[in-house]
A and B are shown apart, each in its own frame.
Chain A
Amino acid sequence: MLAYNELQKRKLGEYVKKLKFAFYWAASCGGCEIAVLDINEKILDVVALTDVVFWPVAMDLKYKDVEAMPDESIDVCFFNGAIRTEEQEHMAKLLREKAKMLVAFGSCACQGGIPGLANVANKKEIFDIVYLRSPSTWNPNMVTPKTSTRVKEGELTLPEFHDTVKTLSQTVKVDYYLPGCPPPAPKVADAIDAIVKGTLPSRGSVLAPERSVCDECPRKKEKKSIPRIYRVYEITPDPNVCLLEQGVICMGPATRGGCEALCVKANMPCTGCGGPCPGEVEQGAAMMSALSSVLGLGEEKTYDVEKLIAQIRDPLGTFYMYSLPASIINRRIIRK
């Protein structure tokens, strides 16, 4: 963050126009909102340097108040969550108009994230499960959400629920990307710092290092071949040896770093929240390619290749956990 004396100067009335900040959430879990607070005492600097003009989770403001703001009157908007409903789409477009800089904050806004896995189904299938068929549901009148309902007091409306989850950049133009589930606190602090100081890279950049999680991982990597796959519950991995070498599918080679290999250091494999590595088209394909190269390498004469590959139970859920909406084929194709 800023040097202490510079902060003091600003606080002591040397007038600097405060940056107008907005935070918004769409299809997300709320973890990204907490990640903003994870920067701990640095949040005080943020408060000193910025005016938060819109943040639904923390302060009361109506959409019509945002609509009343002049265009480009917000300096920076952090937008987390994927685009799943009409309301989220509307807010993405609205905030794009009102904000000079729009930052896709977190895996969901950048790549679609966990909500994006719902692209294996469509609206009808999701409503069927959630409102009619889940074991804990009692819904004898088969009530499902409708965009418009007549009641005696008048008409009630709900936003439309789309069949396909989209990323933020598939909906509006995005200036910067800050990936992670949630983005790691030091990277959030760096981003805010760069915004305040005006040291951001060129528009369209990802605000994370140009390296993979493997580059940040402290484990020993020696072998190249993986004889078999273990699921996480089947094995207690050696904490000092590469998880892939031990047969646990770790997304590290295909995932952008910046997290300092946080999960791997806790003896859990990387699941890929950082999104694709710099310059990579698609994270899932990159990982499938890498894993296929080393799985059973050197044992081709003796192995049963079908059995070997069958150990990977759920390629879509494993390799596209956070990136299905951003991938080449972004959803399950459902024949009408």
Chain B
Amino acid sequence: MTKFEPRIVGFLCNWCSYAGADLAGISRIQYPPTIRVIRVMCSGRVDPIFILEAFKNGADGVLVAGCHPGDCHYLAGNYKAQRRVLLLKKLLEQLGIEPERLKLEWISASEGDRFAALIKEMTEKIRKLGPSPLRAGG
């Protein structure tokens, strides 16, 4: 039996979190290859549809990452993302999907090490949860 490798879809904001992920790469910090990054202009751009579609298509986890509170390039996009994610977690629970599979994090452009640590931590957490109940074949 092969070991379960979680598949995580990451929506990273252009101004902070994507740059943070970039820094992790440039700094050659090791982290698990479980995340598939999608760059968005702002975490506030992440429509709940994106997250639901990701789960529908078999993602084991979804990470939404944006600028720290007060740092949003568009002033309040990250706050909107936070409210959306909290609301979606409640919905996911009602739909029988563990809310821990959805995560919101603040990652600045200088936090490459933090990005790597978060991916490591999230991967382990989802590994424990097992494959998404929506994944074809269980």
Interface residues of A (CB under 8 A from B): 120, 281-282, 284-286, 288-289, 291-293, 295-297, 300, 305-306, 308-309, 312, 314-316, 319, 327-329, 331-336
Contact A292/B83 with A297-B76, A333-B133, A334-B96 known, Cβ cut-off 8 Å? yes
**Hey, which chain A residues are within 8 Å of B91, CB to CB?**
284, 288, 315-316, 319
B2, CB-defined interface residue at 8 Å: no
CB pair A308 B94 closer than 8 Å = no
Size of interface on B: residues with Cβ below 8 Å to A: 26
B125, CB-defined interface residue at 8 Å: no
User: Nearest-CB distance from B90 to chain A (Å)?
Assistant: 5
CB pair B53 A328 closer than 8 Å = yes
CB pair A296 B96 closer than 8 Å = no
Q: Other than the known A292-B80, A316-B94, what 4 A-B pairs have Cβ atoms closer than 8 Å?
A: A285-B47, A292-B84, A308-B83, A333-B96
In whole angstroms, what is the CA distance A334 to B94 when docked? 11
In whole angstroms, what is the CA distance A281 to B50 when docked? 11
Closest 10 CB pairs of A and B: A333-B96, A292-B83, A285-B48, A316-B94, A292-B84, A328-B52, A309-B86, A333-B133, A332-B96, A315-B91
Q: Can you report 12 A-B residue pairs in the complex whose CB atoms are below 8 A from each other?
A: A282-B52, A285-B47, A286-B49, A288-B87, A305-B86, A306-B86, A309-B90, A316-B95, A327-B52, A328-B49, A329-B52, A333-B95
From DSSP, what is the main secondary structure of chain B's interface residues?
helix
CB pair A288 B96 closer than 8 Å = no
Interface residues of B (CB under 8 A from A): 47-49, 52-53, 55-56, 69, 76, 79-80, 82-84, 86-88, 90-91, 94-97, 133-134, 138
In whole angstroms, what is the CA distance A332 to B83 when docked? 22
